[in-house]
Amino acid sequence: MKAFLAFLRNTWRGLTAMRTALTLLFLLALGAMPGALLPQRSLNAQKVAEYIAENGWWGRFLDRLQFYDVYASYWFSAVYVLLFVSLVGCLLPRTWDYYKQMRAKPVLTPRNLSRLPHHATAELAASPEAVMASAKARLKGWRLVEREEADGARSVSAERGYLRETGNLVFHFSLLGLLVAFALGKMVGYEGQVIVQSKGGQFCNSGVFNFDSFRPGLRVDGTQLSPFCVRVNDFHATYLHNGQAQSFRADIDYQSGEDLETGTWRPYPLEVNSPLRTAGDRVYLLGHGYTPIFTVKFPNGETRTGTTQWRPVNEVTLASEGATKFDPPGITDTEQRRKNQLAITGLLAPTAGFRGELLDSVFPEARDPAVAIDVYRGDLGTDSGRGQSIFSIDEKQVQDGKLTKVARQNLRQGEELELDDGTVIKFEGVKDWVSLQVSHDPTQVWVLAFSVLVILGLGVSLSVKRRRVWVRAVPAADGRTVVEVGGLARTDQAGYGEEFGSLARDLLEKEK
Amino acid sequence: MPVNETLSTYSDWTYGAAVSVYFVAAVFYLCEAAFGRTKARELVGAAKVAGTAEDGTWTPGLVVRHERSRAEKLGRMGVALTVLGALLQLSSLVLRGFATERAPWGNMYEYGSLLTFAAVATWLVLMRTFPVRKLGGFVLVPVVILMFLGGTVLYAEAAPVQPALQSYWLVVHVSVISVSSGILLVPGVTSVLYLLKSSGRARFAKLPDADVLDRVAYRSTVFSFPLFTIGIICGAIWAEAAWGRFWGWDPKETVAFVCWVVYAAYLHARATAGWRGRPAAWINALGFALNVFNLFFINLVTTGLHSYAGVG
Ligand code: HEM
């Protein structure tokens, strides 16, 4: 009775645990979905803003519920933490059971073998002892135990496929390990992006401010970045006729470790799919674009060259927009200086195609670069305290009349334009820039290791079958022996039939 | 990297031929299913085999033999046509590979072809073990639909692929994912049939035993799930090299994750009292629906990094 109650309690516990886990699995799946359907801040903050603006209260409501940061939201975290706890809660007892099972003997032979899903019987001339001996020989590789029963009967119970449970535990524990490593990576990792000009532009991973954007893990304050430097010498891209990119390569030099002290640069061809791995970090080639080169000859005779990167607005033709800004030289009075700042904005086409006066780009390669520019003069607003974008001018300054358009013209490479005050602007051509990403995630090798274990565990636990077979030899009246074989697959029955068939045939027919 | 136009044209032809042949085969199967006699062939369950040691038939199998009916002949022709169609489709894939000198699964059209080929091949293998031949039509109909969409809406000229895809991980990740997704079409279909059969309505009485359907679904899922897992992990390894992080909740990654969790739930449901049978079958069908959703909707509607659709 007591045993029965314990059995009930255990079964109940097992069932609830499994059900909870199932429910949580569903919640996890359900909770992850909005992240694929709604724009996410971590992927594209601008899209999120647009979406909220378009959807009014509904958009704001979703924001309140963290639907644009699904994977960092409280509810998503709650589900996976619960799943984690539930997983631990069911793995511990299972591990203990596993340990006990590995030491236990195969279970007693059931009284009535004919009730098992697999069963066969025959009468043989051999003695029970001989039957047992041949059964044991045939069941090599099985864990087995021979027992004597009443009335001179003997039986063997054998079991095989313990690896299934081993695989299963490996799988589940590796899953835990993977989750932990993943979470740790999110804590101590960082990711930063930076645009570097070709033909000698440099970047050093020495501080957060060297990046254009930086995303630190929760425990990263930005003071302990892995030290290395990168110099971009050249950039090559090849395209198909239709403008589809075929290859990108940035020829870079890098320094890390001792090289930083000795000043040695080492070359590396940085390509998509082949990041530079150095100092424990990775450097990726994320994208590229063009920098128009403008020289401005000011009325006082001084010249300045502007090389500010413009950003592509068309991913296929690489038509780009931007703003190249100049401070007038030789003016010390801030008030005066502010009235005479210059900005060149507009469109840059790496390969120009004109429709009348309208410039557009027809190909992503810089074959025949041209710009369609507006030139502004006045106060750029750099001292206004408002955040300034390097890709555009401050529209507010234009509205306030502090910045006025003084020219608008198309320029091909080498062409010039003269402003009313005698300033000459020349479009010299373009050079490439590349956008690089630096990533730091010291735990990702652990994630990989656990993933491999997950696969191995899964493969074993799904392919190995836990199965049992029993052989009983009962002396019959005429000196012969009745041999019964019974089999039971503990998991999926399919496929056991054949193995059992051949086993039973060997045991029952050999001595006929 | 020039494209061999002749080979790519032959590839298109064999693709078209494969779709047509599958279509005819599907019609044959459906005729068999519609006009064949109920329970014409009987599966002898493993348990009943026991005790027949004397006559030596140990493996479970078909024992009731009878004259082949006309419906059955149609079914057999359906099988022959399916094999022919599969060979044609295989040639189409191989030809495209030679035409472009790369692995022939670089855009949605190609990926879809590999996927449906895997589904058909799986079905051919399963038919040898399970008495499910007359269900062939139910597998081939979605295959024909997918291939038709692939060959029209999603069709992409043979061409080299963009830089992000020029990696041997393309070969591994995409092939493993599409083959495993293709295999998962089979349990998806059989789970739906299971749900019909177990609804108990007379209309579905001709379908094979619910138990057989359940086993077909389980076997193929269990075979494919580890593959799918490997595919996702290879994807993560590739993403680490191509996109700067191994996991970033890109829409495609997210839905693959959700699919994975759903199939894990299926395997658990099958081992949980109260969830076996119909609930498990629902879960499996849901898994496949999500997989198709991932293939079409996510590629075409959302903008993620998985931009290999090659359309639009
Ligand atoms: C409390 C949490 C969990 C419990 C109680 C649990 C329990 C089990 C059990 C009992 C099995 C063996 C099923 C069988 O006999 O075939 C199993 C297998 C498996 N589990 Fe879990 N598990 C849990 C969490 C998870 C999670 C979170 C995942 C993945 C998302 C997962 C994936 C799997 C897979 C793929 C199998 C193989 C299925 C099979 O052997 O048929 N499990 N789990």
Q: How does residue B52 score in pLDDT terms, banded at 50, 70 and 90?
A: very low
Name the range with the highest mean pLDDT among B63-77, B123-137, B292-306. B123-137
In this prediction, residue A493 carries a pLDDT of 59
Tokens of B75: 């079914």
- Contact of A393 with A408, CB cutoff 8 Å: no
Cα A87 to averaged position of ligand 1 atoms, centre (Å): 9
**Matching residue, tokens 């996109």:** B243
Residue of chain A with shortest Cα separation from B228: A455
Chain A contact set for B169 (CB, 8 A): 273
In this prediction, residue B257 carries a pLDDT of 92
Lowest mean pLDDT among A218-222, A291-295, B194-198: A218-222
- Cβ of A32 below 6 Å from ligand 1: no
- Cβ of A174 below 6 Å from ligand 1: no
Q: Do B218 and A29 touch (CB under 8 A)?
A: no
In this prediction, residue A499 carries a pLDDT of 84
Residues 6+ apart with CB under 8 A from B254: A32, A33, A35, A36
In this prediction, residue B7 carries a pLDDT of 83
Tokens of A356: 């009348």
Question: Does the pLDDT of residue A263 top 90, yes or no?
Answer: no
In this prediction, residue B42 carries a pLDDT of 42
Q: Which helix (H) or strand (E) holds A404?
A: strand A403-412
How do residues A423-442 score in pLDDT, each as one tens digit?
A: 999 999 999 999 999 999 99
Mean of the per-residue pLDDT values for chain A? 88
Tokens of A321: 């927009």
CA-proximal residue: ligand 1, atom 2 (nearest)? A87
Q: Do B268 and A273 touch (CB under 8 A)?
A: no
CA-proximal residue: ligand 1, atom 11 (nearest)? B268
Of the CA atoms within 13 Å of residue B282, those in its CB half-sphere come to: 9
Q: Do A25 and B264 touch (CB under 8 A)?
A: yes
**Matching residue, tokens 């940035």:** A250
In this prediction, residue B3 carries a pLDDT of 73
B77 touches chain A (CB under 8 A): no
Mutate to test the interface with B, among A273, A281, A437, A488 (most CBs of B within 10 A): A273
Q: How does residue B260 score in pLDDT terms, banded at 50, 70 and 90?
A: very high
Q: Do B58 and A502 touch (CB under 8 A)?
A: yes
Q: How does residue A350 score in pLDDT terms, banded at 50, 70 and 90?
A: very high
| SS3 call for A73 | coil
- Cβ of A163 below 6 Å from ligand 1: no
Question: Does the pLDDT of residue B34 top 90, yes or no?
Answer: no
Mutate to test the interface with B, among A25, A42, A94, A467 (most CBs of B within 10 A): A25
Chain B contact set for A71 (CB, 8 A): 249
- Cβ of A17 below 6 Å from ligand 1: yes
Residues 6+ apart with CB under 8 A from B126: B132, B186, B216, B219, B220
How do residues B92-121 score in pLDDT, each as one tens digit?
A: 888 888 888 788 887 888 888 999 999 999
Closest CA to A341 of A403, A424, A400: A403
- Cβ of A474 below 6 Å from ligand 1: no
B258 touches chain A (CB under 8 A): yes
Q: Which of B224, B225, B268 has most ligand 1 atoms within 8 Å of CB, for mutation?
A: B268
- Contact of A128 with A148, CB cutoff 8 Å: no
- Cβ of B44 below 6 Å from ligand 1: no
B window 140-179, beta carbon within 8 A of A: 159-160, 162-164, 166-167, 169
Chain B contact set for A120 (CB, 8 A): 50-51, 53
How do residues B130-174 score in pLDDT, each as one tens digit?
A: 888 878 888 888 999 999 888 887 777 777 777 777 788 888 998
Tokens of A37: 């359907």
How many residues in chain B? 312
* Residues above pLDDT 70, as percent of chain B: 85
Q: How does residue B62 score in pLDDT terms, banded at 50, 70 and 90?
A: very low
Q: Give the whole-angstrom CA distance, residue A203 versus residue A189.
A: 19
* Residues above pLDDT 90, as percent of chain B: 27
Name the range with the highest mean pLDDT among A4-13, B35-44, B284-293. B284-293
Single pTM value for the model: 0.83
Residue of A37, A42, A462 lying closest to B226 (CB–CB): A462
Residues 6+ apart with CB under 8 A from B234: B169, B172, B173, B176, B177
The 3-state secondary structure of chain B, one letter per residue: CCCCHHHHHHHHHHHHHHHHHHHHHHHHHHHHHHHCCCCCCCECCHHHHCCCHHHCCCCCCECCCCCCCHHHHHHHHHHHHHHHHHHHHHHHHHHHHHHHCCCCCCCHHHHHHHHHHHHHHHHHHHHHHCCCHHHHHHHHHHHHHHHHHHHHCCCCCCCCCCHHHCCHHHHHHHHHHHHHHHHHHHHHHHHHHHHHHHCCCHHHCCCCCHHHHHHHHHHHHHHHHHHHHHHHHHHHHHHHHHCCCCCCCCHHHHHHHHHHHHHHHHHHHHCCCCCCCHHHHHHHHHHHHHHHHHHHHHHHCCCCCCCCCCCC
Residues 6+ apart with CB under 8 A from A254: A228, A229, A230, A231, A265, A266, A268, A276, A278, A283
Q: Do B58 and A505 touch (CB under 8 A)?
A: yes
| SS3 call for A349 | strand
Question: Does the pLDDT of residue A452 top 90, yes or no?
Answer: yes
Of the CA atoms within 13 Å of residue A296, those in its CB half-sphere come to: 22
Question: Does the pLDDT of residue A53 top 60, yes or no?
Answer: yes
Q: Give the whole-angstrom CA distance, residue B136 versus residue B144.
A: 12
**Overall average pLDDT of the B253-268 stretch:** 92
ipTM score: 0.81
How do residues A285-337 score in pLDDT, each as one tens digit?
A: 988 999 999 999 998 889 999 999 999 998 889 999 999 999 888 888 888 88
How do residues A267-292 score in pLDDT, each as one tens digit?
A: 999 998 899 999 889 999 988 999 99
Question: What number does the ligand 1 atom closest to the CA of A164 have?
Answer: 40
| SS3 call for A165 | helix
Give how far A292 is from chain B: nearest CA, Å: 25
Closest CA to A234 of A266, A264, A268, A204: A268
Give how far A283 is from chain B: nearest CA, Å: 8
DSSP letter at A210? G
Cα B268 to averaged position of ligand 1 atoms, centre (Å): 5
More confident of the two residues B205 and B223: B223
For A137, phi and psi rounded to 5 degrees?
A: -65, -40
Question: Does the pLDDT of residue A16 top 70, yes or no?
Answer: no
Q: Give the whole-angstrom CA distance, residue A115 versus residue A118.
A: 8
Question: Does the pLDDT of residue A88 top 70, yes or no?
Answer: yes
Q: Give the whole-angstrom CA distance, residue B226 versus residue B233.
A: 10
Buried b (16+ CB within 10 A) or exposed e, A138-166: bbeebbbeebeeeeebbbbbbbbbeebbb
Mutate to test the interface with A, among B58, B161, B224 (most CBs of A within 10 A): B58
Q: Which amino acid is at A132?
A: M
Largest CA distance in chain A: 128
Residues 6+ apart with CB under 8 A from A357: A410
Lowest mean pLDDT among B153-162, B203-212, B227-236: B153-162
Residue of chain A with shortest Cα separation from B298: A36
Residues 6+ apart with CB under 8 A from B285: B188, B191, B192, B195
Give how far A501 is from chain B: nearest CA, Å: 5
Q: How does residue B50 score in pLDDT terms, banded at 50, 70 and 90?
A: very low
What is the dihedral angle through the alpha carbons of A417, A420, A423, A425, rounded to the nearest 10 degrees? -20
- Helices B108-129/B70-100 angle, 10° precision: 140
- Contact of A449 with A441, CB cutoff 8 Å: no
CA-proximal residue: ligand 1, atom 41 (nearest)? B267
Tokens of A348: 């840059």
Closest CA to B45 of A464, A502, A119, A506: A119
**Matching residue, tokens 């038509």:** A319
Q: Give the whole-angstrom CA distance, residue B112 versus residue B25.
A: 20
Q: Do B47 and A117 touch (CB under 8 A)?
A: yes
Q: Which helix (H) or strand (E) holds A98?
A: helix A74-103
Question: What number does the ligand 1 atom closest to the CA of A18 have?
Answer: 5
CA-proximal residue: ligand 1, atom 5 (nearest)? A18
Q: Give the whole-angstrom CA distance, residue A317 versus residue A242.
A: 10
Residue of B59, B269, B273 lying closest to A501 (CB–CB): B59
Cα A186 to averaged position of ligand 1 atoms, centre (Å): 26
In this prediction, residue B304 carries a pLDDT of 64
Question: Does the pLDDT of residue A506 top 80, yes or no?
Answer: yes
Q: Do B249 and A25 touch (CB under 8 A)?
A: no
